[in-house]
Amino acid sequence: MSTANIYKIMDDPNSLDIDVERVRRDFPMLSQRVHGVPLVYLDNAASTHKPTLVIDAIRRVYEQDYSNIHRGVHELSQRLTMQYEEAREKIRVFLNARSRAEIVFTYGTTDSINLVAQTFGRANIGKGDEILISEMEHHSNIVPWQLLCEQTGATLKVIPFNDQGNLAMSDVEALLSERTKLVALVHVSNALGTINPIGPIIKLAHDAGAKVLVDGAQAVAHMKTDVQKSDVDFYAFSGHKVFGPTGIGVLYGKEDLLEAMPPWRGGGDMIRTVTFEKTTYADLPYKFEAGTPNIAGGIGLGAAIDYVHDIGLKHINHYENSLLAYMTRQLLNVEWLKIIGNAPCKSGAISFMIEGVHHNDLGQYIDHLGVAIRTGHHCAQPVMQHYGVTGTARASLAFYNNTQDIDRFIEALEKAKKFLL
Ligand code: C6P
């Protein structure tokens, strides 16, 4: 949602190109009742639901085509290998990568970042070097770098954000130096909703001689990602946040960088030849894919990408922007509630607090009214430390949400306030 200004009156979500009622029928989970009332699911930043298309693709794997892949000469293995590799091609197109060699299947964003830390990092970052991250990172984009610093003697530097929830380009410039070997930055903050200007930051980092990894966990389901246009070196995301299965994710890496990186996990599928004296490794991307992969997960993710493609990220982005503007306006009308993170460029996650009400009590109370939100530190404790709080409540959107969901959410907050304060 790169052009969103949350304070602008935007289009009415009900008048846009997405037929939300039809879309909702594609997601079986959404039609259920929770605690006797229809579910309002506003925890999409944690994980998204799956359309029937994805569920069917996974079922087909196990009912019709199942076997191991990349190994068998028999029909089933060939058939499933083809589907798995087709999914990789769909992801290549989705990210606009140059080649399938640049698309590594992982277990998720966390796994992708750890892979870069332990291969690119171990090979290229040493004592006296610096890794630059931001204050708004998810723990997945902090801890792998701390581990690497402990292993290599490198230093972790942190770009601060201001109280609005924005990074300042001047801080990025000031912290970059010839010692910076890698900038690891979140595209969209899960705790604040801020969309970071990754293009200009990548340019600055490259000018300083650093490589850039972007954590796209909260971005890919909401806006077009083009790795060639942004010139990012590594881009990570998780299948389960883009309507695909859990346990599957992607690391995009520029081919020359991946080529030069040593493998990380060793085992089957990632080798060319093995003797006790020496092992040689498989070509990209298999060099980084040791062991039997999450086959149904990869194929399910391919189906999820098909689904998103059919609706169109442009429509999704436009619709979600208007829904975010609607939700923001409704929340701003509630004078006893405080929004945490008011960056002008936001994606569909809003963190907030009600003074005198613990976020967990609030989350549990509105759960009984059928409204699912997330509460706590959102695996971004430094963000909580910035605001001096232990946690927030967070409502996060997907394109299957509608204005009725938001109205039910606001009503639930009103009731919670009466009951809990
Ligand atoms: N954020 C949330 O509720 P995994 O667990 O590997 O799929 O994703 C980790 C991750 C990395 N970066 C960002 C920006 C994220 O938001 C997440 C996951 C979830 O906000 C669970 S903590």
Question: Is 221 found in the same domain as 87?
Answer: yes
Query: From the CA of 216, how far away is ligand 1's center (Å)?
Result: 10
- Please tell me the distance between residue 217's alpha carbon and the centre of ligand 1 in angstroms: 6
Please state the domain count of the chain.
Answer: 2
| Whether residues 397 and 261 fall in one domain | no
Indicate the top mutation candidate among 218, 237, 396 to test ligand 1's pocket, ranked by most ligand atoms within 8 A of CB: 218
110: Cβ below 6 Å to ligand 1? yes
Mean local confidence (pLDDT), 230-253: 98
Residue 112 pLDDT: 98
Q: 72 CA distance to ligand 1 centroid (A)?
A: 35
191 and 290 part of one domain: yes
Per-residue pLDDT reduced to its tens digit, 140-154: 999 999 999 999 999
What percent of the chain clears pLDDT 70, i.e. is strictly above it?
A: 97
**135 in Cβ contact with 383 (< 8 Å):** yes
Does residue 6 register a pLDDT over 60? no
- Residues 112, 218, single domain; the answer is yes
Mutate to test the pocket of ligand 1, among 138, 220, 351 (most ligand atoms within 8 A of CB): 138
- Do 366 and 282 fall within a single domain? no
Residue finishing a domain among 277, 310, 343: 310
Of the candidates 122, 153, 110, which has an alpha carbon nearest to the alpha carbon of residue 262? 122
- For the CA of 374, the closest atom of ligand 1 is 3
Confidence class for position 277, pLDDT limits 50, 70, 90:
very high
CATH of the domain at 400: 3.90.1150.10
Of 8-17, 28-37, 57-66, 373-382, give the lowest mean pLDDT range: 8-17
What confidence score (pLDDT) does residue 72 get? 83
Instruction: Give me the active site residues, please.
Output: 379
- The CA distances from residue 112 to 103, 106, 164, 287, in Å, are 11, 6, 29, 14
22 CA to centre of ligand 1 in angstroms: 28
Question: Quick one: pLDDT at residue 348?
Answer: 87
Report the largest interatomic distance among the alpha carbons of the chain, rounded to a whole angstrom.
Answer: 72
Mean pLDDT of 20-49: 97
- Which among 145, 213, 238, 240 is the best mutation to test ligand 1's pocket, defined by most ligand atoms within 8 Å of the CB? 238
> What's the CA-to-centroid distance between 219 and ligand 1, angstroms?
11
Q: Residue 350: pLDDT band by 50, 70, 90 thresholds? A: very high
- Give the number of the atom of ligand 1 that is nearest the alpha carbon of residue 107: 6
Give the pLDDT band of residue 9 (cuts 50, 70, 90).
Answer: very low
More confident of the two residues 1 and 387? 387
Binning pLDDT at 50, 70 and 90, where does residue 18 land? Answer: confident
Say whether pLDDT at 138 is over 90: yes
β-strand pairing of 155-159 with 211-215: unpaired
Residue 202: pLDDT over 90? yes
Q: Are residues 101 and 214 in the same domain?
A: yes
Whether 254 shows a pLDDT value over 90: the answer reads yes
Per residue, what are the HEC states of the chain? CCCCCCCCCCCCHHHCCCCHHHHHHCCHHHHCEECCEECEECECCCCCCCCHHHHHHHHHHHHHHCCCCCCCCCHHHHHHHHHHHHHHHHHHHHHCCCCHHHEEEECCHHHHHHHHHHHHHHHHCCCCCEEEEECCCCHHHCHHHHHHHHHHCCEEEEECECCCCCECHHHHHHHCCCCEEEEEEECECCCCCEECCHHHHHHHHHHCCCEEEEECCCCCCCCCCCHHHHCCCEEEEEHHHHCCCCCCEEEEECHHHHHHCCCCCCCCCCEEEECCCCEEECCCCHHHCCCCCCHHHHHHHHHHHHHHHHHCHHHHHHHHHHHHHHHHHHHHCCCCEEEECCCCCECCEEEEEECCECHHHHHHHHHCCCEECEEECCCCHHHHHHHCCCCEEEEECCCCCCHHHHHHHHHHHHHHHHHHC
186 CB within 6 A, ligand 1: yes
Same domain, 301 and 316: no
49 CB near ligand 1 (under 6 Å): no
Parallel, antiparallel or unpaired: strands 211-215 and 234-238: parallel
> Of ligand 1's atoms, which has the minimum distance to the CA of residue 46?
3
Please tell me if the CB atom of residue 204 comes closer than 6 angstroms to any atom of ligand 1. Answer: no
Residue 17: which pLDDT band, with cuts at 50, 70 and 90? Answer: confident
What gap in Å lies between CA 91 and CA 244, rounded to an integer?
12
Determine the average pLDDT of the residues in 50-59: 98
Cα 182 from chain centroid? 20
Same domain for 409 and 327?
yes
Whether 45 is in the pocket of ligand 1, judged by its Cβ within 6 Å, is yes
| Tokens 């892949």 sit on residue | 69
What integer best gives the mean pLDDT of the chain? 95
138 lines ligand 1 (CB under 6 A): yes
215 touches ligand 1 (CB under 6 Å): yes
Torsional class of 232: left (φ above 0), alpha (ψ -120 to 50), beta (otherwise): beta
Q: Write down the pLDDT at residue 40.
A: 98
Q: Which domain holds residue 66?
A: 55-310
> Model pTM greater than 0.85?
yes
Please tell me the predicted confidence (pLDDT) of residue 14. Answer: 73
- Give the end of a domain, one of 258, 287, 310: 310
Q: What is the pLDDT of residues 223-241, one digit of tens each?
A: 999 999 999 999 999 999 9
57-91 tens-digit pLDDT: 999 999 999 999 998 899 999 999 999 999 999 99
- How much distance in Å is there from the Cα of 141 to the middle of ligand 1? 10
Residue ending a domain, among 265, 286, 310, is: 310
Cross-strand pairs, 250: 105, 237
Q: Are residues 23 and 161 in the same domain?
A: no
Q: Do 393 and 248 share a structural domain? A: no
Average pLDDT over residues 388-401: 98
Report whether residue 143 contacts ligand 1, using a CB cutoff of 6 Å. no
Which ligand 1 atom is the nearest neighbour of the CA of 187?
14
The tokens describing 197, both together, are 């200007």
374 lines ligand 1 (CB under 6 A): yes
Question: What is the phi-psi region of residue 128: left when phi exceeds 0, alpha when psi lies from -120 to 50, beta otherwise?
Answer: left
Q: What is the CATH number of the domain that holds 79?
A: 3.40.640.10
Q: Which atom of ligand 1 is nearest to the CA of 111?
A: 6
Nearest-atom index, ligand 1, CA of 109: 6
Shared domain check, 38 and 117: no
- The order of strands in the sheet holding 337-340 is 337-340, 349-354, 392-396, 374-376
User: Does the Cβ of 217 fall within 6 Å of ligand 1?
Assistant: yes
Q: What's the pLDDT at 312?
A: 94
Confidence of residue 3 (pLDDT cuts 50, 70, 90): very low
Of the chain, the percentage scoring pLDDT greater than 90 comes to: 95
Band of residue 13 on the pLDDT scale cut at 50, 70, 90:
confident
Cα–Cα distance between 412 and 418 in angstroms, integer? Answer: 10
Same domain, 131 and 8: no
